[in-house]
């Protein structure tokens, strides 16, 4: 007998992931300037360093890296990540650190540990589309919190907490994906206070924190946590390599951490030890701070080129001007449809992600997300010119 | 406010994973001879080879291995795995192969794609405890199929299919975990036929297939598949390295594969490219066949030592005598309790997994699983003597 769609689980049947997939297929076109992804620049990646570090850790740890490891993660990486996070103002013990396959896995394990179908998750409006997909697969009821130029509005969050009794509030506080907006200093303790007062887990997803090109670093929301309600998710993807899939979750509540570990055990048993050991060695040798300084200098030039290029856009276009991260968010004048314009832009060898995909409820057709990390400044200027032309012609 | 258990999801609250975890903690004791794990021998692992291969692939592919990759897997590995599986008699195109983080992830992604809470999965009795945990987390109703010395009994499976309308039938056909039993040649086409006739996905989990120490290889159940109902799960964990977490799923139905890929995207975005490329290069250089021959020679000596040592066990003990794999299954005479005896055995520096953990419904207190791959033959003899003593004294 033939297999039909009915064989698939009810919770996965509506999840298609196709819109973004189709956009990413277009990027293979030769000559394409992509503002669509979230990739680091190739020049920020160091295969020679990774090769040398790989040799070094395989010599140091031998068969240990090739045997089964603990689901809780490679012990030296838990320690070095705890040290690294101290530089971000987060004082967590190694036993609170769960190495994950990028911060995506941290979020998914948290959802699994906490969310049953129908439970509510509050998110920023707009928010990371990958997170929306994780939440949909887990059956979460997603409710958007209004935001402004200072990030999520605590008073609005409180009202929604009282109304919906969410189990999780998902926040990307620094150089947010997709907007590039940073949650202001005064709102950070306010959100931690809400999480602790109402008993809502605040998932603080902070992979862009160290990509700051100007201004002063702000304290993490986690720094204001009192009873372990803030789970801090971070990633080495944007700092060392996304292809290695190493991130971490800081989970201060042992019972919650335990359920996340059990979930991970059933998903992949543990993360590969070789990639964990490479990142650990990278941290221990002190390679990260100078590397971050180097890539930030490049990314700043690319961001400046992008911001400068908006002058060619239709009058009335507004856009964010982030102090770091990988993304700028733009709203074309009302009436423009970024989704409908995309094919014409791709025709001119330039791509982006239409903003509609970052809103759980859809809409906002005039918005788009632009990534500036994946192309050098001259290409960014060229791509932005092509984009402005296509939009005006469209 | 303090976080309580109520914050955790209802589906994760009953999942504790503690029994096995406690056993594995005991293994850190110095001098312990462990028959408890499923680890390859350290002498079967080749850190120097992996180190050289890692350098080689980082030189060959450069930044490609450090950038984001496709969720569908590293394209060269999909091809080389398809070639490797041809040697197992499975003719699948590269586009049917999904590289996974060990065969565990393949099973979990399949469950996610197919199972809603309450759906039935048929399993062998007994079966792999990690699979039972995956199924419990996904909310599956687990029903055991009776087995005998030829593996699962097709007539019993058919009766249960008609009664329970399962969506998945999970079978470990070769050197089964935990029993070491191999599904007979005549039953393989019969099970494929049942899967295709009744429309049940047969998850064929076959990670031990190439660890054969005597007898002729049998065709995979997948070879008798007609309409894509058999999903073949395999792993390089037992052949190259469990710590690298590289396995694969062969999924012939494109709609099912697509849902598994979407599930993986939300769990880890993709598997690390470096570990995928290392395994790919290992395959392309033809390193696997001589390596398998070498480790099989060692494992055969270890298996023989274990089988030989049962003569010291209480009269009436029965055990399997597998032709390969990693495990022997033993049933002590009625009245013995392998769970209760474990502390006394650990006292004598020897450990195993009580059989009760491999039965979804519990019971079978007199059974135990013994692994022989993790210790050289003299240690196996020593450990088995200690075990026999502890059992007789207990």
Closest alpha carbon within chain B to A101: B268
Distance CA A107, CA A122 (A): 13
- Residue pairs spanning A and B at CB distance below 8 A: 258
Q: What is the pLDDT of residue A18?
A: 65
Q: Which residue of B has its CA nearest to A227?
A: B2
Instruction: From chain A, pick out residues whose CB is under 8 angstroms from the CB of B53.
Output: none
Cβ atoms < 10 Å from Cβ of B235: 25
Check B244 against A105: CB less than 8 A apart: no
Structural domains present in chain A: 5-46+289-393 (3.90.1150.10), 69-284 (3.40.640.10)
The residues facing A51 across adjacent strands are none
Residue with tokens 């195109």: B93
Low-confidence spans in chain B with pLDDT less than 70? 18-19
pLDDT for A283-316, tens place per residue? 999 999 999 999 999 999 999 999 999 999 999 9
Q: Which residues of chain A have a CB within 8 Å of the CB of B253?
A: 3
- Give the other-Cβ count within 10 Å of A153's Cβ: 16
With an 8 Å Cβ cutoff, are A263 and B51 in contact? Answer: no
Q: What percent of chain A stands above pLDDT 70?
A: 99
Q: Do A272 and B47 touch (CB under 8 A)?
A: no
User: In chain A, which residue's Cα lies nearest the Cα of B269?
Assistant: A104
**How many angstroms away from the CA of A215 is the closest CA of chain B?**
28
Q: What does the pLDDT look like over A340-373, one tens digit per residue?
A: 999 999 999 999 999 999 999 999 999 999 999 9
Q: Tell me the HSE value of A99 on the side-chain side, using a 13 A CA sphere.
A: 34
Q: Assign A17 a pLDDT band (cuts: 50, 70, 90).
A: confident
Task: Please answer yes or no on whether A199 and B9 come within 8 Å at the CB atom.
Answer: no
- A100-122 average pLDDT score: 97
Q: What average pLDDT score do residues A194-210 get?
A: 98
Of the listed ranges A17-21, A60-64, A255-259, the least confidently predicted one is A17-21
- Reported as a pLDDT band with limits 50, 70 and 90, residue A149 is very high
Give dist(CA A150, CA A183) in Å, integer: 5
Interchain pair B245, A269: CB under 8 A = yes
CA angle B174, B176, B180 (to 5 degrees): 100
Q: Please name the residues in contact with A163: beta carbons below 8 A apart, sequence gap of 6 or more.
A: none
Q: pLDDT tens across A35-44, in order?
A: 998 899 999 9
- With a threshold of 0.80, does the pTM exceed it? yes
Say if the Cβ atoms of A273 and B243 lie within 8 Å: yes
DSSP secondary-structure letter at B47?
A: H
CA angle A68, A69, A74 (to 5 degrees): 150
Q: Is the pLDDT of residue A119 over 70?
A: yes
Q: How far is B241 from chain A (nearest CA, A)?
A: 5
To probe the interface with B, which of A7, A15, A53, A260 has the most B CB atoms within 10 Å? A7
In angstroms, the separation between the Cα of residue A305 and the nearest Cα of chain B is 23
Closest Cα in chain B, distance from residue A61 (Å): 9
Identify which of A102, A253, A267 has the shortest CB distance to residue B269. Answer: A102
Of B55, B69, B134, the CB nearest to A243: B69
Largest Cα separation within chain A, whole Å, is 63
Tokens of B172: 């470990």
ipTM: 0.96
Contact B130 A266 (CB under 8 A): yes
Mean pLDDT across chain A: 95
Task: List the single residue in B with minimal CA-CA distance to A236.
Answer: B66
Residue B269 has a pLDDT of 94
């Amino acid at each position: 007998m033939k297999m039909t769609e009915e064989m698939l689980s009810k919770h996965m049947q509506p999840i298609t992931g196709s819109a973004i997939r189709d956009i990413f297929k277009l990027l293979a076109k030769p000559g394409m300037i992509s503002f669509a992804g979230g990739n680091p620049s190739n020049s920020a990646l160091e295969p020679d360093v990774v090769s040398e570090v790989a040799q070094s850790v395989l010599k140091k740890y031998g068969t240990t890296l090739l045997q089964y490891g603990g689901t809780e993660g490679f012990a030296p990486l838990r320690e070095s990540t705890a040290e690294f996070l101290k530089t971000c103002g987060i004082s967590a013990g190694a036993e609170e650190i769960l190495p994950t396959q990028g911060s995506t896995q941290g979020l998914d394990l948290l959802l699994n540990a906490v969310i049953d179908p129908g439970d509510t998750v509050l998110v920023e409006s707009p928010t990371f589309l990958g997170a929306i997909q994780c939440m949909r697969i887990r059956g979460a009821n997603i409710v958007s919190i209004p935001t402004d130029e200072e990030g999520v509005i605590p008073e609005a969050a409180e009202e929604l907490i009282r109304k919906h009794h969410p189990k999780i509030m998902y926040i990307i506080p620094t150089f947010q994906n997709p907007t590039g907006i940073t949650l202001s200093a005064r709102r950070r303790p306010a959100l931690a206070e809400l999480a602790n007062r109402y008993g809502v887990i605040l998932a603080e997803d902070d992979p862009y924190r160290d990509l700051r090109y100007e201004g002063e670093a702000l304290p993490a929301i986690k720094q204001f946590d009192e009873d372990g309600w803030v789970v801090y998710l971070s990633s080495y993807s944007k700092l060392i390599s996304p292809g290695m899939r190493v991130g971490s979750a800081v989970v201060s509540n042992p019972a919650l951490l335990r359920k996340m570990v059990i979930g991970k055990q059933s998903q992949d048993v543990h993360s590969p030890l070789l990639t964990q050991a490479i990142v650990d060695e990278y941290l221990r040798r002190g390679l990260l701070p100078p590397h971050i300084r180097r890539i930030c200098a490049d990314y700043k030039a690319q961001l400046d080129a992008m911001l400068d290029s908006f002058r060619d856009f239709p009058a009335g276009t507004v856009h964010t001007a982030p102090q770091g991260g990988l993304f700028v968010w733009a709203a074309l004048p009302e009436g423009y449809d970024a989704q409908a314009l995309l094919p014409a832009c791709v025709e001119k060898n330039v791509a982006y992600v239409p903003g509609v995909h970052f809103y759980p409820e859809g809409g906002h057709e005039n918005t788009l997300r632009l990534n500036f990390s994946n192309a050098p400044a001259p290409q960014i200027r060229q791509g932005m010119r092509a984009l402005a032309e296509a939009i005006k012609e469209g």
